[in-house]
A = this chain, B = another copy of it.
Amino acid sequence: MKTADPELMRAINRFHVMDAIRRFGPISRVEISDRTQLSATTVSAITGALLDDELIITHQLGGIRDAARGRPRVMLELNPAAAYVVGVKLALDQITVATTNFRADVLSSLVLPIRLQRQSVTVIADLVEDGIRRSVADAGLTMEQISGVCVGLPGVVERLAGVCRASPIFGERDVPFAAEMTDRLGGVVATIDSDVNLVTLAEHWFGQARGLDDFLVISVEAGLGLGIMHNGELFRGANGLSPDLGDLMVRPPTGNGSTRLASAASEASIVAEAREIVAGGEHEHAFRLGRGLEKILELAEAGDPQILALLERAGGALGFAIANLITLFAPPKVIMAGAALEAGDALVGPIRRTVAELLPPSLADVSDIVVHHWQDDIWARGAAAMTLRDLYGAPWNTTGPVVHR
């Protein structure tokens, strides 16, 4: 916590005003005053400055007026053109890039379906750079207009340092990918973060967790990700390290050895196991074509007992981990997502059952577990939100300016 001076005071209140406008805009000054508990005068002063800086604009159409009397309220909203940011998501099999405006509206997006697994950092950076430049151009912008870039990727990421400690994407460890990208983009600051953190922020800003200050996000993709919103702030481990759900253990080392959750319930592990099940059979072809997951969902739908048992096992492992997370964090909501969860109840059922079974009675009803089918662009919006938050400037946190050394 920093010491307080008038400047910090203003920064805090400006953030609150910005946050109210982002969340509820178009919104009038009086309503901001109501919501933030700031005096009308202060709101006037702050919005005046924000208007001068062109971070917000007036929205002259008063819209619906409750009381038809009196001077009409002037509605304020974020100026979409105040800044533009680029969000990038790296996955094992594709790169997604999107350019958004100051409201996190997606202006242009593109998907590069490229297997990154065996590529060097340089090659990946090349691809990302090209994608960014292309997306920016598609949006009708130049790089000079871009205020920031945020790259989300699976694994353990130390955001403040801009270093990816470990990721299925990179062969190496401790990759200073943020600095790498910043160098390439010529003046545009790039940051990196865990992909789940991006989507967690997106859920908080736009998604199922709007206004919810405590929740968990669990993504089941090629890898497994965990995002934690706690007290309205993204929770990170010490040093800003993002946890990796796949690194959790779901079995003690006694008996038949320990199992990392990633090798029990990730999309990759499920597909690999299913492939063994169907080996030599009529369905093997689909797996060769990389359409294994779809085939699994199809077989589950058809009631294939081996596949159902497989999903049961995976769901059990996931449920085990989720129960422990609920025990630790007691979140009112747990949001799950990932293509594998589309298998109806075949995977989600065992998860819910296991959680219900393993949760201590005192926590039985605290958490609402929901499945959210994400649009592809939610990652990009999350990346945008992450960058925009820096521009808004939440001053009290260590979210502060990112410094590459």
Contacts from A to B (Cβ < 8 Å): 1, 3-6, 8-10, 12-13, 16, 36-38, 156, 165-166, 173, 213-214, 226, 230-232, 235, 237-239, 241, 243-244, 247-255, 258, 260, 313, 316-317, 320, 323-324, 327-332, 354, 357-358, 360-363, 366, 396, 398
Check A330/B254 contact, CB under 8 A, given A6-B9, A38-B3. Answer: no
Q: In the assembled complex, which residues on chain B have CB atoms less than 8 Å from the CB atom of A332? A: 238
Q: Give the distance in Å from the alpha carbon of A232 to the alpha carbon of B398 in the complex.
A: 12
Check A9/B4 contact, CB under 8 A, given A238-B214, A329-B237. Answer: yes
Q: How far is the CB of A313 from chain B (nearest CB, A)?
A: 7
Q: In the assembled complex, which residues on chain B have CB atoms less than 8 Å from the CB atom of A5? A: 9
Q: In the assembled complex, which residues on chain B have CB atoms less than 8 Å from the CB atom of A357? A: 253, 258
Q: Give the distance in Å from the alpha carbon of A230 to the alpha carbon of B244 in the complex.
A: 18
Decide: B328 and A237 in contact? CB cutoff 8 A.
yes
Decide: A252 and B250 in contact? CB cutoff 8 A.
yes
Q: Which of B12, B248, B253, B323 contacts A324 (CB 8 A)?
A: B248
Decide: B253 and A320 in contact? CB cutoff 8 A.
yes
Decide: A328 and B243 in contact? CB cutoff 8 A.
yes
User: Could you jot down 13 A-B contacts, CB within 8 Å?
Assistant: A3-B38, A4-B12, A166-B361, A213-B238, A230-B235, A230-B238, A237-B330, A238-B366, A248-B327, A249-B358, A253-B316, A255-B255, A258-B358
Decide: A3 and B249 in contact? CB cutoff 8 A.
no
Q: In the assembled complex, which residues on chain B have CB atoms less than 8 Å from the CB atom of A241? A: 330, 366
Q: Give the distance in Å from the alpha carbon of A323 to the alpha carbon of B324 in the complex.
A: 13
Q: In the assembled complex, which residues on chain B have CB atoms less than 8 Å from the CB atom of A329? A: 237-238, 243
Q: Which 10 A-B pairs have the closest CB atoms?
A: A237-B330, A214-B238, A166-B362, A4-B12, A4-B9, A247-B360, A241-B330, A252-B320, A165-B362, A243-B328
Q: In the assembled complex, which residues on chain B have CB atoms less than 8 Å from the CB atom of A231? A: 398
Closest to A164 in B: B362
Q: Give the distance in Å from the alpha carbon of A165 to the alpha carbon of B260 in the complex.
A: 32
Decide: A244 and B327 in contact? CB cutoff 8 A.
yes
Closest to A247 in B: B360
Closest to A331 in B: B238
Decide: A1 and B12 in contact? CB cutoff 8 A.
yes
Check A313/B254 contact, CB under 8 A, given A237-B329, A249-B320. Answer: yes
Q: How far is the CB of A184 from chain B (nearest CB, A)?
A: 25
Decide: A166 and B360 in contact? CB cutoff 8 A.
yes
Q: Give the distance in Å from the alpha carbon of A214 to the alpha carbon of B156 in the complex.
A: 18
Q: In the assembled complex, which residues on chain B have CB atoms less than 8 Å from the CB atom of A230? A: 235, 238
Closest to A312 in B: B254
Q: Give the distance in Å from the alpha carbon of A313 to the alpha carbon of B332 in the complex.
A: 34
Decide: A252 and B317 in contact? CB cutoff 8 A.
yes
Q: Give the distance in Å from the alpha carbon of A324 to the alpha carbon of B235 in the complex.
A: 16
Q: In the assembled complex, which residues on chain B have CB atoms less than 8 Å from the CB atom of A1? A: 12, 16, 232, 396
Q: Which of B238, B253, B317 contacts A330 (CB 8 A)?
A: B238
Q: How far is the CB of A312 from chain B (nearest CB, A)?
A: 9
Decide: B316 and A254 in contact? CB cutoff 8 A.
yes
Closest to A260 in B: B360
Q: Which of B12, B317, B362 contacts A173 (CB 8 A)?
A: B362
Decide: A324 and B13 in contact? CB cutoff 8 A.
no
Q: Give the distance in Å from the alpha carbon of A9 to the alpha carbon of B6 in the complex.
A: 8
